[in-house]
Structure 1
Amino acid sequence: MADRLRADAQRNRAALITAARDVFAEHGLDASLDEIARRAGVGNATLYRRFPTRRDLIAEVFAGQMTGYVELAETALTEPDPWAGFVAYLTRLFEIQATDRGLSELLVTSGFDNDERLAELLATAQRGATEVIHRAQAAGRLRDDFVRQDISLLMRANAGVLRSSADPAAWRRYLSLVLDGLKVFKDL
């Protein structure tokens, strides 16, 4: 009987994480916990037993997604052309913002301070982003005054584009304009 309870508990936990990932992606980090429990097919008591606080649930849901965020820089660094790697990095980052409201809010608000795992993943992602930036600058393709913190500014601005535009692809135009402003044109 104890094995069945553990299997049920594991199944409930997995269902809660899957439901939370979907609900946070659709509605952001302030999404209804009742909706998460409903979509998972469990009661609120089960949700709170598995994840006593919203922060606990957020940390569990986004730890895996933050690993993907870390991999963005790693992938960009494998691109032979440093500028193309930088463009691919920013494009994927903005695409994530456009498709996952919860992760977008987490990245823009830097809501990592209460979870060591997320804070460590963010630090690793930031080191990778810095390397992507320096590599594009060393190739003479990215403005010398661009710094990693500028990515946060761009993401905040992109969050505004996503919130205020009726066109769900408006972020692509915004990114194109940003990239034109960041690129060093060697032939001028």
Structure 2
Amino acid sequence: MPAVPEAAELRADARHNRDRIVEVARELFAVRGLDVPMAAIARHAGVGVATLYRRFPTKESLVTEVFADQFGECVSVVDDALADPDPWRGFCAAIEKICTMQAVDRGFSTAFVAAFPDAVDIGHERDRAIRGFAELTRRAQAAGRLRADFVPDDLPLLLMANCGVITASGEAAPAASRRLAAYLLSAFRAEQAGPLPPPAPLTLHDILNSTGAATR
């Protein structure tokens, strides 16, 4: 049997290291959020810090790779909700699925609101999701199902509340998140609407600040 060329062995080893780094980072981010140090990721992946930085020069580049699929999934959630002929059902489905994604993976919601100036594709998908949610809001209100004083900027408030529940509830986080989402959606119904205080001056970036996560 002919020997495997040395260059091929090196390429295979490099691919293995890269895949292992991404796998470990995904696991750690899901449990601990984005504030996991790069050195800890390297240690858990069984590679040197120099190897990690050779594959991913910045934490931003690693986060972008780890959450690429989730960003695509988030856009798909909103697109599916927009395709639903029932605007209220689509709105509820989007809220429930986004909250579930947040409960399953603590790092994703932080990654979603983090500023990634060099990650053009990620920024584009995030903007698509935000615009789609605004359209979901408009349609549900036009159908008379969503309370008129709900604004798209209430989404950060919802996600911050969900983040708090997830952080405090440990292994029960998915169940606690579903319960919270159900309570909130009930309150969002137009027929349940009573007067609300003015919207809070919050943005998606406030979620990032509240968790204290670092992406660099």
TM > 0.5 fold call: yes
Q: Percent identity?
A: 45
1:66, distance to aligned residue in structure 2 (A): 0.7
1:58, distance to aligned residue in structure 2 (A): 1.0
The 2-side partners of 1:47 and 1:12 are apart by 8
CA RMSD of aligned residues (A): 1.9
The one-letter code of the counterpart of 2:187 is G
The 2-side partners of 1:24 and 1:57 are apart by 11
**1:172 correspondence with 2:175:** no
1:154 corresponding residue in structure 2: 158
Q: Report the number of matched residues.
A: 184
Point out where structure 1 has 5 or more consecutive residues left out of the alignment: none
1:59 corresponding residue in structure 2: 64
1:162, distance to aligned residue in structure 2 (A): 1.7
Point out where structure 2 has 5 or more consecutive residues left out of the alignment: 1-5, 193-216
State the structure with more CA Rg. Answer: 2
| Bigger RCO (CA 8 Å, 6+ sep) | 2
Over 3 Å off, 4+ runs: none
TM-score by length of 2: 0.77
Q: Which sits farther off after the overlay, 4-13 or 51-60?
A: 4-13
The one-letter code of the counterpart of 2:180 is Y
Q: 2:190 aligns with which of 139, 159, 184?
A: 184
The 1-side partners of 2:185 and 2:157 are apart by 14
The 1-side partners of 2:132 and 2:8 are apart by 42
**1:79 correspondence with 2:89:** no
Give the 3 Å change call, closer, same or farther, for CA 9–147 of structure 1 in structure 2.
same
Encode CA deviations 1:158-178: one digit per residue, 9 max, x unaligned: 111222346422222221221
Q: Which sits farther off after the overlay, 38-47 or 94-103?
A: 38-47
The 2-side partners of 1:19 and 1:137 are apart by 43
Q: 2:144 aligns with which of 140, 147, 151?
A: 140
Q: 1:116 aligns with which of 116, 120, 143?
A: 120
